[in-house]
A and B are shown apart, each in its own frame.
Chain A
Amino acid sequence: MIPQLVTVRWRRRGNRVRRLWIPVVPVALLLSPLLVLAVIGGVVACLLFDMSPLRMLGGIGRVLWTLPGTRFELEMHGTAVFLGIR
């Protein structure tokens, strides 16, 4: 399943926790013109470096599809960062 929601949470020393929820699909739709340009650039780069664009796109797609469930949490000197992908 593609990622649906990215949650970012951070807290600086002494400050309160701030949260940011990023809905992936709407944001991807909003940025779709840029994504198309990025894909075209990627295909050109693949052709320049003798790589199969289809296999590369498939590989990147597979990585994106397996991202849900990833969590990253870091805390240092009272500063904390959390990144979760659902």
Chain B
Amino acid sequence: MNEQRRQILQMLAENKITADEAERLLAAIEPEESDPAPGARVRAKSSRPKYLRVIANFNDEVDGEFRVNVRVPLRLLRAGVRLTSLIPPRAVVQVNTELAKVGVPFDLGELKPQQLEELVDALDELTVDVDQADMTVKVYCE
């Protein structure tokens, strides 16, 4: 408990302020406490999603109904993404060359594990919801 919070609770205990005022004061100091370091993501561990869920339903007149329901642990995505750092240098050069040939000037060597981690972390907030007459697709984290 930090000093500001302690002072507010002390004032509330001494009846110097009302409960509503204490609540407002605590809310006011909240952003300072939860001010994240640059680039860092602060979130309660219990509220962090664990799985990436993909649910798709297609209803085609010719092929009939087609349903897909996939649940992938986000940890698995992170581990998979880290495997990309093991690509041998020779392969990286070849991939870069081929990408450049098709007009994608992308350097795989510049892809750092930390950036990939941030990319997977950002998936936490991903929600895709497609709803059409013959097709529904939902992608979200849970």
A in complex with B: yes
State the A residues within 8 Å of B (CB).
Answer: 49-52, 55-56, 59-60, 62-63, 65-78
A-B contact count (CB 8 A): 66
Q: Which residues of B contact A (CB under 8 A)?
A: 50-51, 63-73, 75-76, 78-80, 82-83, 86, 88-91
**Docked complex Cα distance between A65 and B80 (Å):** 11
Query: Taking the nearest CB of chain B, how far is it from the CB of A17, in angstroms?
Result: 15
* Among B50, B71, B79, B91, residue most surrounded by chain A Cβ atoms (within 10 Å): B79
Taking CB atoms, residues of chain A closer than 8 Å to B75 are: 66
Provide the bound-state CA to CA distance between A84 and B68, in Å: 14
Contact pick for B82, options A59, A70, A76, CB 8 Å: A59
Residues in A whose Cβ lies below 8 Å from that of B90:
49-50
In the complex, the answer to whether B71 meets A70 with C-beta atoms within 8 Å is: yes
Closest chain B CB from A5 CB (angstroms): 15
Instruction: Check A51/B88 contact, CB under 8 A, given A69-B71, A73-B70, A76-B64.
Output: yes
User: CB-CB < 8 A to A56: which residues of B?
Assistant: 86
How far, in Å, is B92 (CB) from chain A's closest CB? Answer: 11
Give chain A residues whose Cβ lies under 8 Å from the Cβ of B73. 66-70
Find out whether the CB atom of B76 lies under 8 angstroms from the CB atom of A66.
yes
- List 10 additional A-B contacts (Cβ < 8 Å) besides A72-B69, A78-B64: A49-B90, A59-B82, A65-B79, A66-B75, A69-B51, A69-B76, A70-B76, A71-B69, A76-B64, A77-B64
Contact B67 A52 (CB under 8 A): no
Q: Do A71 and B71 have beta carbons less than 8 Å apart? A: yes
Cα A38 to Cα B89 with chains together (Å): 24
Q: Are B88 and A66 in contact (CB under 8 A)?
A: no
Q: Are A55 and B64 in contact (CB under 8 A)?
A: no
**Contacting pair A52 B68 (CB below 8 A):** no
